Amino acid sequence: MRPIRAACLGAATLVILTCTSVAAGAATDTDSAHAGGKARIITLRAVVKELNRFPVHDGSVSQGDRVVARSDLSYLSDEARTKIGETAVTCTTTQGGDDEAEQCIATYTLPDGQLTVQGMYFNYLDQGPFDNAITGGTGKYEKARGSVHSEPIEPGVRRFTINLV
């Protein structure tokens, strides 16, 4: 049985998702992804600000557990780390145990609109990278499609690479 505290640490890294991301590099933020068929890449830094796990059973991670988190976003190239938006994420455990899997849905609130993202996250104990699909958006991101790649930079901080196509 894994204590809930350990589960929250793993989930914290997930959410920077989720949830709630940083290395050297510049952010590229060009015009609308769906205007003129141009692809667009946005690189962001995410820092978890709130994270809560709602377990179905005490002790181990089980099917039906929920994680809810919020992270602040800034452009990766901004050394001042000026907040430009945030993410809100909800994940539901679909498989407990050593091969844990979670279905996650996230909203990225950015200066010119919102992006919606969803996908699976497997074995968060290794706190590794994951990829999710962009399912839509509002404002400048209306009809957005593409993917988001997330990788940990340090505890509680991840780099998100948003690939709009």
State residue 139's pLDDT score: 97
Can you give the residue range of the structural domain that contains 109? 4-164
pLDDT tens figures, 4-19: 434 443 433 333 333 3
Alpha carbon distance 143, 62 (integer Å):
35
Confidence at residue 122, expressed as pLDDT on a 0 to 100 scale: 82
The number of domains in the chain is: 1
| pLDDT tens per residue, range 46-68 | 999 999 989 988 778 889 999 99
Q: Residue 114 — pLDDT band, cuts 50, 70, 90?
A: very high
pLDDT over 90 for what percent of the chain?
A: 61
Distance of alpha carbon 159 from alpha carbon 73, whole angstroms: 10
11: domain CATH number is 2.40.480.10
Residue 81 has pLDDT above 90, yes or no: yes
Which residues, other chains included, contact 46 with Cβ-Cβ below 8 Å and sequence gap of 6+?
16, 17, 19, 20, 21, 71, 72, 73, 87, 150, 157, 158, 159, 160
pLDDT of residue 15: 38
Question: What's the average model confidence in pLDDT over 17-32?
Answer: 36
**Does the structure show a pLDDT above 70 at 160?**
yes
> Is pLDDT at 148 greater than 80 in this prediction?
yes
Give the number of other Cβ atoms within 10 Å of residue 5's Cβ.
8
CA atoms within 13 Å, Cβ hemisphere of 16: 30
